Amino acid sequence: GGIGISSVSSDFIKVGGPSAAERNIVSDNGGRGVFLWTGHDLSVENNFIGTDLTGTVAFGNGSSGLHLQDSQKVEILDNVIGDSAFSGIRLENVGFDVQLVQWPSGDGGNDHYFFLAPNRFWGEADAIATAAGGYLASINSQDENDFLTTTFGSASPWIGFNDIATEGTFVWTSGEPTNFANFGPGEPNGGAAENFVQLLSNGFWNDLGGSAKHQAIIEFETLPDINAVIDAIGRARVQGNTIGTDLAGTLMLGNTQGIHVDGSHDVLIGGPGTGDANLIAFNSDRGINIVGTSGRVTVSENSIHSNGQLGIDLDGDGLTPNDLDDSDMGPNGLQNFPILSGFNSDDDLFGSLQSTANTMFTIEIFDNNVVDPADAEGETFLTSFQVMTDGTGFAAFGVSPGMLPTALTSVTATATDPAGNTSEFSPAVGPATKFVDNADPGYSTVGSWASNVSGSARGGDIDNSLFGRGQNVARWSFSDLVPGRYRISATWVEHPNRATNSPFKALDSVGGTVLNSTVVNQELAPNDFADDGTNWEDLFIVDVTGSTLVVELSNAANQYVVADAIRIEPTLAPISPVAHIIDDGDTGFSTVGTWNLPAGMLGRENDLQHNAAGTGTDTATWTFTGLTPGNYIVSATWLEHINRATDAPFTIFDGTGGPVLEIVRVNQELAPDDFTDRGSNWEELAIVGITGSELVVQLSDDANGYVIADAIRIEQTMLPPLPQGTIIDDGDAEFATTIGWNAPASGLGRDGDLRNAASGDGSKVATWTFSGLTPGDYQVAATWFTYTNRATDAPFSILDGTGGPTLATVDVNQQLAPDDFSTFGSDWENLITVTITGTELVVELSNDADGYVIADAVRIQMALMPF
């Protein structure tokens, strides 16, 4: 025969029901199994369509198993649908596309919003309006009448005018006064039988009876909640159905397509509730095909697998490529799908979404028993979560094993926008771990490397290089990565002749930015974990912002370095602490003047540069770029020797050409010993704060012996730098003395000068005057050159401005070196913290002491609290 069950222009139709007794067997028809056309409040539940009465044997229908057209508020629940010649379920113009229109005040309007609701009896339309938070339209002027006629009049829609309460007395459902009416000639004419009013296409009004169906204009005074509007009209729900298989999900009862959605809106296929998910399997074509003007079709938490083509297809043309800003048009707005990079050995899953900017999306994750990147589906729903895209439309995400209830095989994902438009499934991905061995594409070397066969090596071979100055480099390049965080590990074959400081570093590209670096002891076997038949040592965890990652090993080490294989995988673990190191052989290092490289392989990475004592014209400079403004610990390493300077001057700048942040003099006769990192011993120079993206360190030859330029290390810190201070030296204009102070013949003291006065009666006075200050608390410190003939009670007096009262007098022992702190190349002794009331602070030193008193430099800084 033709159609099994059909209904046209009927509402509140129910086919089947929740009990077995209400079930229909609708099978073996020449046309459609069930066809419902032009109605609302329609339900098709718990039927076997296209099968026998057991739901396990195919008796297909000649077209779609279930076809609903031009209908709203539809429920398709818990049916078994199989062996349909077209689709198991076909939804054609189901639901209603709500299109809001505003009458703006700029055009003489009231800024209200209007939309045209579907065909209903007047009473049903009024109920929809109330449920949506609005009312049937009120027309209060000829201008409003003209606007609504132009916008909606062709549908001859209902408006809110009625005389239900009192025959002949028409009122608005909104309660507004009836200041305007526009009945056509001879209208109203229906008497008690015609209580409702429609707006005709010519702008006149006509009264009608309650048995007529028309569309209706619904009005809102403010922008309505679109979901409330859709709920009032009624969504289409497709839930709990088994489409293309039996209830057990094992038999092949496939339709051509599982579900075909054409020109339909506000359809929910599946859902989060118990029993909401549909099982859509073994259909010969697509699982779900969404075409035409369809929109806001949400596909959620279903099991879709083993279909002949895509699990979800937007526009019926196969996988739709993502576009950058997701502005392309089509069914479901051709919503972009997520891109998954795969999962790591811990079953952490990683991916990203590129779509509409600054928008919250729901991501659903699925696993599949079979990897099928060409026709992605979603067999087992795992979890869902929300991500917010940034201003460029990008959002990265990671999912930990705690969110995933099962071990992963082949993972896919969908994205759904706030309006309910669901994407196609992302291409399926498996494990995201990647390997590059020394015989693989992506591996290359520079310089001299020897290959050796080794049964212990990954792939049976390794490359090695004798120690040098980093001129020999092995490189592993990874491409087509998804931006995110990656764990990087290496393997090698250990041996006693291996380097104990083999230097690995990660870069964002060949010759690009260094992401992190480390050294490993290749005399010892890698032993952090085993994977894919190989033992691995973790190197570091880095953030990759592009699509490439490069790992390099150089021969700047103390013995043979071995290049075997590198392994990377996405991770959710914290990034490794990043300390930036520039060695004297790296990009970012430069020299001015005569600097020499020793004949032997000395220093970090087997190279350093040295310069004899000079006048400060020869400089070595380390320039760090691409930094984040903030505080940094600056450290240096060098090779100590008795011919080194005891006062090697390092100057730290706030960027190229920027202000001096700190000057530190170090004794390079002594080894750096504050800490060890990446195969070198380091001495902390200072903590400084930078305001831009550069930090510059410079070493000059203005010293008393050889100065050594090797490597500088910086690391961001939350620790504060030394507060900014003001220094007045004895050679500055703000310094003055009475008669009787002497300068030594040799250049001693800060900046090579100081003053001294012999023990006396206090008549000889040196004065440092600080002006332009803000009243408040100040810490006062002094520096001097110590010697055995110095006073043990040199008296420093601090005054509250020139001629002001003495705030304090402090006696210091100048036979001992100042040692409270170091800054700007000098050691300082804290004297006291005082409070000034004006804009000057004056420090005086007199010769009222038991030995020579030394006037060199005084430093003050504003204090947050008394010392």
CATH number of the domain enclosing 154? 3.10.100.10
**What is the number of structural domains in the chain?**
6
What is the C-alpha separation between 738 and 432, in angstroms, rounded? 78
> What percentage of residues in the chain have a pLDDT greater than 90?
80
Range of the domain at 150: 101-225
- 120 and 207 both lie in a single domain: yes
Average pLDDT rounded to a whole number, residues 724-750: 90
Range in 278-287, 573-582, 652-661 the model is least confident about: 573-582
Distance CA 245, CA 83 (A): 9
- For residue 605, being part of any structural domain is answered with yes
Confidence (pLDDT) at 430: 76
CA distance 702 to 613: 6
> What's residue 404's pLDDT?
66
Which of 427, 449, 475 is a domain's end point?
427
Give the pLDDT score at 410. Answer: 85
Minimum mean pLDDT range among 134-138, 231-235, 245-249 = 231-235
As a whole number of Å, the end-to-end CA separation of the chain is 101
pLDDT value at 373 more than 70: no
Determine, yes or no, domain membership for 476.
yes
pLDDT confidence tier of residue 211, bands split at 50, 70 and 90 = confident
The runs of H, that is alpha helices, within 93-180 are 122-131, 142-152
Does residue 316 sit within a domain?
Answer: no
For the cut 50, the answer to whether the pLDDT of residue 867 exceeds it is: no
Max intra-chain CA distance, the chain: 130
Task: Note whether residue 498 is domain-resident.
Answer: yes
Quick check: 859 pLDDT over 60? yes
- Shared domain check, 513 and 404: no
Q: What is the pLDDT of residue 370?
A: 74
Neighbours of 257 (CB within 10 A): 29
376 and 447 part of one domain: no
Phi first, then psi: give them for residue 752, nearest 5 degrees: 75, 20
Which percentage of the chain shows pLDDT scores above 70? 98
CATH of the domain at 379: 2.60.40.4070
User: What is the per-residue pLDDT across 549-586, written as a single tens digit (0 to 9) for each?
Assistant: 999 999 999 999 999 999 998 887 788 778 899 999 89
Q: Is 659 exposed, middle or buried (0-12, 13-18, 19+ CB in 10 A)?
A: exposed
Task: Say yes or no: 640 and 586 in one domain.
Answer: yes
- Whether residue 818 contacts residue 829, with contact meaning beta carbons closer than 8 Å, is answered with yes
Note the pLDDT tens digit of each residue in 532-545: 899 999 999 999 98
- Cα angle at 305 between 299 and 311, to 5 degrees? 45
- Kind plus residue range of the DSSP H or E element containing 231: helix 226-233
Output 824-827 pairs: Cβ under 8 A, ≥24 positions apart: 824/660, 824/662, 824/663, 824/727, 825/649, 825/663, 825/664, 825/665, 825/750, 826/665, 826/750, 826/783, 826/857, 827/783
Give the whole-angstrom CA distance, residue 169 versus residue 163.
5
847 band by pLDDT with thresholds 50, 70 and 90: very high
* Residue tagged 């043990």 (tokens): 792
Is the separation of the CB atoms in 727 and 858 below 8 Å?
A: yes
CA distance 575 to 569: 13
Q: How far is CA 566 from CA 433, 487, 529, in A?
A: 11, 11, 13
Residues 6+ apart with CB under 8 A from 531: 345, 433, 567
What is the reported pLDDT for 405?
A: 61
pLDDT tens for 744-798 read: 877 789 888 999 999 999 999 999 999 999 999 999 999 999 999 999 999 999 9
CATH of the domain at 621: 2.60.120.260
pLDDT at 830 over 90: yes
807 in any annotated domain: yes
pLDDT at 761: 96
* Domain-located, residue 841: yes
pLDDT for residue 403 = 65
The reply to whether 348 and 446 lie within a common domain is no
Q: Which two tokens stand for residue 684?
A: 């902390």
User: Is the domain of 645 the same as that of 710?
Assistant: yes
The answer on 334 and 303 residing in a single domain is no
Dist. CA 195–CA 653, nearest whole Å: 86
Cα–Cα distance for residue pair 217/363, rounded to 1 Å: 36
- Residues 335 and 295 both lie in one domain: no
**Averaged pLDDT, 302-322:** 95
Report the distance separating Cα 480 and Cα 544, nearest Å. 11
Please give the pLDDT value at position 824.
86
Q: Are residues 238 and 91 in the same domain?
A: yes
pLDDT tens-digit profile of 449-466?
999 999 899 999 999 999
Q: Please tell me whether residues 208 and 107 are part of one structural domain.
A: yes
Question: For residue 288, is it within any domain?
Answer: yes
Would you state the pLDDT for residue 577? Answer: 79
Is 145 in a helix, a strand, or coil? Answer: helix
Average per-residue pLDDT for the chain? 93
Domain final position from 689, 717, 745 = 717
Question: 3-class SS at 728?
Answer: strand
* Ramachandran bin of 511, using left for φ above 0, alpha for ψ from -120 to 50, beta for the remaining angles: left
Distance (Å, whole) CA 621 – CA 656? 10
What confidence category does residue 865 fall into, taking pLDDT thresholds of 50, 70 and 90?
Answer: very low
Q: Which of 164, 194, 225 is at the close of a domain?
A: 225
Distances (CA, A) of 694 to 132, 543, 625, 700, 716: 58, 20, 5, 20, 13
Burial of 212 (0-12, 13-18, 19+ CB in 10 A): middle
- Segment 300-308 shows an average pLDDT of 96
pLDDT in tens, 55-107: 999 999 999 999 999 999 999 999 999 999 999 999 999 988 889 999 999 99
pLDDT at 433: 86
- Same domain flag for 417 and 440: no
pTM for this entry: 0.61
Is pLDDT of 864 > 60? no
Written as six digits, the tokens of 392 are 């460029």
CB-count exposure of residue 19 (10 Å: 0-12, 13-18, 19+): exposed
pLDDT at 866 over 60: no
* Residue 264 C-alpha from the chain's centroid: 35
Specify whether 290 is located in the same domain as 344.
no
Q: Is residue 564 part of a domain?
A: yes
347: confidence class by pLDDT, cuts 50, 70, 90: low
